Chains A and B, each alone.
Chain A
Amino acid sequence: MNAALAAVTGSFDIPTIEYSALAPILIVLGAAVVSVLVEALVPQAYRRTLQLVITFAALVGALVAVVALWGTQQIVAMGSVAVDGPTLFMQGSILVLSAIAALVMAERRVDPAGDSFAPRASALPGSEDEQAFTRLGWLQTEVWTLFLFCVGGLLLFPASTDLLTMFVALEVLSLPLYIMVGLARRRRLLSQEASLKYFVLGAFSSAFFLYGTALLYGYAGTVSLSGIADALGASAGDTGLVLAGVALLSVGLLFKVGAAPFHQWTPDVYQGSPTSITGFMAACIKVAAFGALLRVMYVALGGIRWDWRPMMYVIAALTMIVGTLFALTQTDIKRMLAYSAIAQAGFMLVGVVATNAAGLEGTMVYLLAYGVATVGAFAIVTLVRDTTGEATHLSQWAGLGKRSPVVAAAFALFLLAFAGIPLTSGFTGKFAVFTAGIAGGATPIVVIGVVASAVAAFFYIRVIVLMFFNEPAAEGGPSVVIPSAFTTLAITVAVALTLVIGVLPQLVFDLVSQAGLFVR
């Protein structure tokens, strides 16, 4: 089946690649290569414009390709990539969310020093070099190359139908991200520390993933998901290998979705990254990683779901509880949103443990709803600033609603969506995964989920109260910077989508029900 393995057995087939079905991934990765050339060959003055054109053209082109492919149900590239409804829905979501995040990254009016990225990532924090670069007003554009490679990996991750391809995708999306996390212009030490932490722990989790793959290969003799499912169906071989393999593979995936107890990197990395990158990773990685997790659990391991469901119950419950409780005590808005993202991952895991069609659909709806609100929320965090940069301490947000009612109202909307208040997108998503969970027999987990979301509403609403009903901090406190058209457009789109998914959820539900199930 698999090209690599076929080679081992001695025969050699010329691989066939269905380029059209892979178009979304190829467009983005192709653009990434072009972007490298731009960095190497084009004079500094033109780079930014050119990189922006390439990036947005690639994202839009890939999105067009996804729309054109809608309805495809096939396995391509010698059985290693599935182009099916869920893949296309996730790819579409990732592209939309990346585009919104890219708008925020392109912002150059908010930070007086230029943009929110370090002029030269290689300069030591606080060194004379760095001060010189800043004084000279240097701006770098390499972040766009990294961004495009990362998006390419994200598009492949949920589409992979064998564990090796999935691992390659995982690395393609992770490596650029490790660098992007360390690019913050301000609080450089925090940023670099976050980058290093993310890298070390990410490498650790990759090892788990790879070891799990090896064990499953030892059991099934193949790394393809459907091959593993067939072997499990025939129930031949050593069950010890399966269970250990499933456990290690799950750890690798659960690390990426940020589930407890593999979540601890999240707050540190979310806080240290440039905020525009935080929004991007919080939204898009969640989508891709859940896509991969769902595919592995539903396609390869669906047959032994009675074995892994109890484990997932525990993880889901733990994730919801840990995320909610820690979010309650946070005083930094980025850390609070990070713990909230952990809690949200727990809610989405309810859709995974449902192991039915409704669970898959519900999780996809939830991912889109959550992703949109997340990019929007982090975009707003970039705007609230004082003289030293972003003002992320919660006390600095007091009275924001009095001074900047529109921005505060948009932020309140995103928080209400996180809290799952009816008529926002979050309610649609929560309702979909929770009903799927009850239908899938996971009622106790749903009860925990409903209670956790009731508690979670408290810290979301607390921020709203802080913004609208508290007196502003003393004079000279932070204020909302008026952004350029980029961020304004990003926030507008996020607000509009949050409202549309909440008021007319029909549109998204139609899409996910058309998407159907994973192709095997």
Chain B
Amino acid sequence: MSPFSGAVTRAAEAVPTAVAASGTFQLIWLLIALPLAGAAILLLAGRRSDRWGHWLGVLASTASFVVAVVLFVGLLGESADQRTITQHLFDWIAVGTFDVPVDLRLDQLSMTFVLLITGVGTLIHVYSVGYMSHDRDRRRFFGYLNLFVASMLLLVLADNYLLLYVGWEGVGLASYLLIGFWYFKDTAAVASKKAFVVNRVGDVGLSLAVMIMFVTFGSVTFDGVLGSASQASEQSLTWIGLALLLAAAGKSAQFPLQSWLLDAMEGPTPVSALIHAATMVTAGVYLIVRSGAIFDAAPAARTAVIVVGAITLLMGAIIGCAKDDIKKALAGSTMSQIGYMILAAGLGPVGYSFAIFHLLLHGFFKADMFLGAGSVMHGMNDQVNMRRYGALRTVMKVTWITFACGWLAILGVPPFAGFYSKDKIIEAAFSVSTAAGIVTLLGAGITAFYMTRLFAMTFHGEARWHDDAHPHESPWIMMFPVAVLALLSAVAGFVLNYNNMFVDWLEPVTHGVEPSLSVAGWVVPTTALVLVAIGAALAWIPYATRPVPLVAPAGNLLTRAARADLYGDAVNEAVFMRPGQYLTRWLVWFDNRVVDGVVNGTAATIGGLSGRTRRLQTGFVRSYALSMLGGAAVVAAALVLVRL
């Protein structure tokens, strides 16, 4: 019994008919409004709410989760083709043919995201109550977290690309604020700036995509764009697809915009878990899967997606192998795992469902491991260098066991979660292109190596702690959420895969197709498991059974390159930053003829106030007039040239 409808009928039913919200479904707006209200209260009330602010944050997120569960139960009560609900809130812009309503769209895809965001989000809110208990700005932290949850929900619930863009900017803002939360640390301030700049590059892609969509289709709603995608020219669709890919690369830290994610680990660890692992960084995957109808009709754009996913998958994994900072190793892993998802999304209908399946399960096990890392740091005086860990299983039993669940899940050891989604992605990749298949298999092997290395260096081997470290288990308020996530990492894959439950649920949106392979069904999983076993063994032997040096050995060329993030920053610096600096310096020099010497790029100290008030502009009118004359000549010449 095949639950799939097949690709042939796809174009006709690219967008399921939407049903207007009624009854329970009129609550959809509450999903966003609750955390938004929480953020507003926490950020406006100021210090007055310091004592109870964090609990309000938790409450807002929990309430949103409860609404999500109610809606989910409601959706289950509908038949599969009636599960696309739209709620009209108000008309944002409606001018002649240009119509942008503020509509929310709840369907199987957005419901999945809503449950992930509010569910994992709430757990991380609870965890943060403990983790941030010593921070005097804890209330502000919860305000930002609520702002993030609201923006992310808007992103996935929007029924048109313009509203999605609002959410897209909102999560970018929240991410920026949270990476730089400890703004007094220079590294955090620089990292948040970098994330901002790189994300702006991605945002350019999204805004271009939205504008080309509007000009091509006369609409930016999902129905208007995706429903008539088959009628547009392939060229327009390719451009839209590439612009969307640029947007996805920025938000999801994919090649060539990957460099910000590793630095983003400067934010508090709960932020790394929620925003930079489980939810926001997967927005790119959502965007591509949601825009499937465009990529289906633009093969060139789709190939670009696969290539970007494949490159990032390997890059992230290689970087993860060389990092000694536990959070950066996990960040490399996140890049790599999102590479898997992007690659799967690029495979088309054979991959969409598994991209989302892997995204969901990754949300569980990666959040589990990040929170575990946070727990380790909590007990180790915020030490992040794994060479100073070791043997922590003896003192942090709960952290050890919960982390092991995440570790086995990402390795893809049955019956842990990753097994069910990653193997399917590998199979789907092989069904489309052997090269993509090999990359995903190779990635699985490397993943096993670096995750085992991380796990062994942290919890096994011998203790390499600093003398003043007194590792202890974290309080229950931190470990309870971790335990829930560990449980989900252990069983969610098996449960959701039972009887193809999850894939069937998504089918009306993704129109999934079963990958067809020329080899027997057991070959791919077995090969993958063998590679995983080899990778894990290669890491386990040196890092768990032999002493780990306290100072990292020089390493070979690849190791050194991986430690330097595969020179991502060096490339950025050479190609963008240094020319930019030269340009700035030249502009300042140029401008200095106009202003005087106080300009120097960074905020200079105030000085010589009296001198400043007497200051003259030294820009000469005659040179201004000359440039006007030159400009006029150029304008005239341009007109004549065009006529010729």
Contact = CB atoms under 8 A, between A and B. Distances in A.
Interface stretch (A61-69, A108-116, A159-167, A451-459): A451-459
Interface stretch (A17-25, A185-193, A223-231, A277-285): A185-193
B635 A331 contact: no
Given A261-B627, A310-B642, A329-B601, A271 B200 contact: no
B598 interface: yes
Contact of B204 (A201, A208, A310, A450): A450
A454 B201 contact: yes
A268 interface: yes
Contacts, number: 181
Contacts of B619: 197, 264, 268
Nearest to A205: B628
A329 B588 contact: yes
A505 B92 contact: yes
A247 B632 contact: yes
Contact of B614 (A189, A251, A314): A189
A469 interface: yes
B25 interface: no
A250 B207 CA distance: 31
Nearest to A200: B621
Given A193-B616, A243-B639, A251-B628, A450 B208 contact: yes
Contacts of B207: 434, 450
Contacts of A204: 625, 628
B588 A458 contact: no
Nearest to B604: A395
Contact of B639 (A205, A246, A328, A330): A246
Nearest to A252: B632
A48 interface: no
A230 B93 CA distance: 37
Overall SS of chain A's interface: helix
A310 B583 CA distance: 27
Interface in A446-476: 446-447, 450-451, 454-455, 457-458, 461, 466, 469-470, 473
Given A205-B628, A422-B166, A438-B215, A506 B638 contact: no
B225 to A, nearest CB: 14
A180 B397 CA distance: 76
Interface in A285-305: none
Contacts of B627: 261, 264
A503 B601 CA distance: 35
Contact of B215 (A248, A261, A395, A439): A439
A330 B588 CA distance: 8
A394 B603 contact: yes
A389 interface: yes
B33 to A, nearest CB: 15
Contacts of A208: 628, 632
B433 to A, nearest CB: 31
A302 to B, nearest CB: 15
Interface of A: 186-187, 189-190, 193-194, 196-197, 200-201, 204-205, 208, 239, 243-244, 246-248, 250-251, 255, 260-262, 264-265, 267-268, 271-272, 306-308, 310-311, 314-315, 325-326, 328-332, 335, 361, 386, 388-389, 393-396, 398, 421-423, 428, 431, 434-435, 438-439, 446-447, 450-451, 454-455, 457-458, 461, 466, 469-470, 473, 477, 503-506, 509-510, 513
8 contacts: A201-B628, A208-B632, A314-B634, A395-B603, A431-B211, A435-B98, A438-B211, A438-B215
The 6 closest A-B pairs by CB, nearest first: A247-B636, A261-B631, A395-B603, A311-B638, A509-B95, A422-B166
Interface of B: 91-96, 98, 162, 165-166, 169, 180, 183, 189, 196-197, 200-201, 203-204, 207-208, 211-212, 214-215, 583-584, 587-588, 591, 594-595, 598-601, 603-606, 609-610, 612-617, 619, 621, 624-625, 627-628, 630-632, 634-636, 638-640, 642-643
Given A197-B617, A428-B93, 19 more contacts: A187-B613, A200-B625, A204-B628, A311-B638, A311-B639, A388-B612, A395-B603, A421-B169, A435-B98, A435-B214, A447-B208, A450-B207, A450-B211, A451-B204, A454-B204, A504-B92, A506-B94, A506-B95, A513-B95
